[in-house]
Amino acid sequence: MSFSTQLNAILAMPPSMRFAMIGAPRRIRPSQLSLPSKVYRSTIAWNHDEAAAFHIPDFRQGPITNVSFEALCKTSHMRSTPDETIDSGLSTLFTKNPATFKYGETDFYKLRKNTLLPEVCVLGRSNVGKSSFVNALAGRNQRSQNPLARISKHAGKTREMNTYGFGPAPLQKDIAAWTAELKGQEDIPTHTFYLVDMPGYGHASLQDWGRNITLYLTKRVGVKGAIILIDAEVGPKETDLQCLQLLSSANMRTCIVLTKADKVKGGLPALHDLCAELRDNVLEIENSQDYKWNLERDVFVTALGARDPTIVQSTLSPARYAVARLAGLVETNQPEPEKNKKWSGKIVSFEELQYAPRDPPSKQAGISTFTQMERATVGIRPGVLSSLHSRVITQPQVRNFHGSSRSMKIHGQSSKNTKMYEEEMDHILDEFIKDMKATTTTSHYVRNMRRKNNRRLPRAPENRNLLDTKENKISKALRKRFPEDVIRTLAVREKRLLMPDAQESKSERRGKNKRAEEEEEWPSTSPIQKRDDNTLLTADAFKALVTTPEQTNTGKAKGNKKSSQNKSSQKKSKGTANQEPADEFEAKFAKAFSKVL
Ligand SMILES: Nc1nc2c(ncn2[C@@H]2O[C@H](COP(=O)(O)OP(=O)(O)OP(=O)(O)O)[C@@H](O)[C@H]2O)c(=O)[nH]1
Ligand SMILES: [Mg+2]
């Protein structure tokens, strides 16, 4: 039966009967449901050839224009040679000497010192693609088995400030010069610049990360610029604007990179709208301050999730270019940003801060870490590498941590202005940090709640350690010193535990109200009663040990009088060591106690 007669027969049948002729539908495999790659690719409405970046002129006036990669490179000294394209030149710069992980720190103050290499940090909301960006720059595939930075589809993967070394290795003579100069105070670089992958802010972030990021932006000397990644699919969020505000307040040279452009459905017009929104936001930030923030006017776009490797590659080269520019490795023709004429001492120019090299001794030596060929291809600013190791800060600085603080002269800056600046800065930092959520993931939440509850629950007195740690230590030392008196020492320790003075110090520590609550909850037990089953120290043994013969012989009234006297003297004296020892052994204990103290 031919296919057309089969088809006619099927069509002639009532629709309900058609399945009987064709047979039951086979199970559809999930892969068959997915769109063919051609359809998938057609959802990438933005064609990378149309724009490598968007130029926002001065963030004030004029239309946003598309910039092709060639046009972008024309603003710099980057030229392709006949046998090598700019793409491959940049690729050489970033990958010839493989990028490596250097160190990761959660605590800013534990970061290793770096005064030699420029640092560029990568900021952005969690899951925006910071680590993917670092991997891509290093030439590691998103799905690579051996990624440089770990990525995840779940937010909050990167939890440390991870530093990666990028670029060509220094020459042996550079290394020798550094080794002699630094004398082990700092790691000898193995690359040309550092890229710092930061933990993300926003969802699944911790306040502590925010605190450390702000410290990094305001205090780290080596930092030369920040790349802020913004998700092109969702646009700038409140936290992104706060981060921009923070970067602006720190007067940090900043470059905006849009990520996940492959997910943008609206194509080029949607990206234009996004840039316009960003321009408005930036304008608002700039208008709120009286100095000019050093924000790059090109907004770069990446699409690292695109299935077509040519798209990934074509968005990668501009991204590499952006990073190299921030690191000071690309010489641009663009006019230098205006100096603040109205500078009030409020903000220190980042350029002033970072580019103030003294006469490098290596200048004469002509130290270079690049071959001439590589340098010519990627347009590395001549002398950049050779002067890296001799960079000294000679201007007023906000960032003076992890680096040289040799020159701290603040010209024309009154202390009042500095104070104002600090207050303002504190406020901005607080706002930024406040927005970092303290707990977001379920496991965090559960863990924190458990900890909180444990803290709230009063512990049973027998488990409580009523003595100070210091006293405990002393008691331990005494037991060691008088091993034959262990039982008696323990008894005296228990007695001291019960002294109102010890309890007073406890109540002082915890707060009287809280203690009252605890006593209510555990009213009938005392450490002695609870230790009845303890073979080392029973209640009777304790009584026999700590009750002095005088106490048993003297009358009740006398004893009461004595105890009240004791109480009043205890009230007067704060430390337990000052109390009158009740018997010979206690006297020995007290004597040793004072010795140990
Ligand atoms: N479609 C698409 N997905 C991307 C792109 N960049 C990153 N991703 C994906 O986004 C997810 C998050 O990437 P990460 O690089 O871990 O994000 P992150 O900003 O480092 O996240 P945290 O470390 O949690 O702050 C991963 O599943 C990536 O595959 C992109 O350009 N396009
Ligand atoms: Mg990450």
| Percentage helix, strand, coil for the chain under 3-state DSSP, each rounded to 5 | 50, 10, 40
Of all protein residues, the one whose alpha carbon is nearest to atom 7 of ligand 1 is 129
- Domain end among 412, 435, 458: 435
- Measured CA to CA, the distance from residue 514 to residue 410 in angstroms comes to 51
E strands, 260-415, are: 298-301
Q: Helix crossing, 500-510 with 512-521: angle to 10°?
A: 110
Structural domain includes residue 387:
yes
- Residue 213 Cα, ligand 2 centroid: separation in angstroms? 14
- Angle between helix axes 486-498 and 584-596 (nearest 10 degrees) is 80
Per-residue pLDDT 10s for the chain (597 aa) are 554 555 455 455 555 444 444 443 333 333 333 333 333 333 445 566 666 677 776 655 677 888 887 777 777 766 666 667 778 888 888 999 999 999 998 888 888 989 889 999 999 999 999 999 999 999 987 666 778 888 888 888 888 899 999 998 888 888 888 888 887 788 888 999 999 999 988 777 777 777 888 888 888 888 999 999 999 999 999 889 988 988 988 889 999 999 998 888 888 888 888 888 998 888 888 888 777 788 888 899 998 888 888 888 888 888 999 999 899 888 766 555 554 433 333 333 333 323 333 333 333 333 333 333 333 334 444 444 343 333 332 333 345 566 543 333 333 445 555 555 666 666 666 666 665 554 445 566 666 666 666 665 555 554 444 445 556 666 677 667 766 666 666 676 667 666 655 555 555 555 555 544 444 443 333 333 333 333 333 445 444 444 444 443 444 444 444 444 444 444 444 444 445 555 666 676 666 656 544
Is residue 425 located within the same domain as residue 478?
Answer: no
What residues does the ion ligand 2 have nearby, CB within 5 Å? 130-131, 157-158
Measuring from atom 10 of ligand 1, which residue has the nearest CA?
A: 129
**CA 345 – CA 348 distance, rounded (Å):** 7
Specify if 418 maps to a domain. Answer: yes
Ligand 2 center from residue 198 Cα (angstroms): 7
Pairing of the two strands 193-197 and 119-124? parallel
Residue 103 burial (C-beta neighbours within 10 Å; 0-12, 13-18, 19+): middle
Residues 201 and 245 in one domain: yes
166 lies in which domain range? 53-435
10 in any annotated domain:
no
User: Which ligand sits closest to the CA of 203?
Assistant: 1
pLDDT for 390: 33
Sheet holding 298-301, edge to edge: 65-67, 53-55, 298-301, 254-259, 223-231, 119-124, 193-197, 161-166, 100-105
Regarding the beta carbon of 130 and ligand 1, being less than 6 Å apart is answered yes
Any domain includes 145: yes
Is residue 447 assigned to a domain?
Answer: no
Tokens of 265: 């459905």
CA distance 408 to 221: 13
The residue nearest atom 13 of ligand 1, judged by CA position, is 129
Regarding whether 424 and 494 lie in a shared domain, the answer is: no
Domains: count for the chain: 2
Based on the fold, state whether residues 133 and 249 are members of the same structural domain: yes
Among the listed residues 31, 431, 497, 33, the one whose alpha carbon sits nearest the alpha carbon of residue 241: 431
Residues in Cβ contact with 7 at an 8 Å cutoff, skipping those fewer than 6 apart: none
Pairing of strands 193-197, 161-166: antiparallel
Task: Report the CATH number at residue 251.
Answer: 3.40.50.300
Asked if residue 295 is part of any domain, the answer here is yes
Same domain, 343 and 258: yes
Asked if 131 and 183 sit in the same domain, the reply is yes
The answer as to whether 452 is a domain residue is: no
Mutate to test the pocket of ligand 1, among 121, 127, 137 (most ligand atoms within 8 A of CB): 127
| Residue that is last in its domain, among 388, 409, 435 | 435
Partnered with residue 119 across adjacent β-strands are: 194, 223
Which ligand is closest in space to the CA of residue 135?
Answer: 1
Q: Are residues 109 and 227 in the same domain?
A: yes
Q: Rounded to 5 degrees, what angle do the CA atoms 380, 381, 386 make?
A: 100
Vertex 318 angle, CA 313 and 319, to 5°: 85
Q: How far is the CA of 514 from the centre of ligand 2 (A)?
A: 43
Q: 421 with 504, same domain?
A: no
Please indicate whether residue 518, judged by its CB atom, sits closer than 6 Å to ligand 1: no
CA-closest residue to ligand 1 atom 9:
129
Q: How far apart are CA 121 and CA 295, in angstroms?
A: 15
Give, for ligand 1, the residue of 123, 126, 132 to mutate: max count of ligand atoms closer than 8 Å to Cβ. 132
30 falls within a domain: no
Residues paired with 165 in a beta bridge: 100, 194
Distance CA 41, CA 365 (A): 53
Tell me: do 266 and 414 sit in the same domain.
yes
Regarding whether 473 and 360 lie in a shared domain, the answer is no
Among candidates 86, 122, 276, 298, which has minimal Cα distance to 194? 122
The residue written with tokens 């103050």 in the block is 109
Rounded CA-CA distance 428/424 in Å is: 6
Provide the pLDDT for residue 485.
65
- Is the C-beta atom of 152 inside 6 A of ligand 1? yes
The number of C-alpha atoms within 13 Å of 425 and in the hemisphere containing its C-beta is 22
Residues 362, 229 within the same domain: yes
pLDDT score, position 236: 93
412 and 348 in contact (C-beta within 8 Å)? no
Same-domain status, 532 and 387: no
Domain boundary among 386, 412, 435: 435
- Asked if this assembly's ipTM is beyond 0.90, the reply is yes
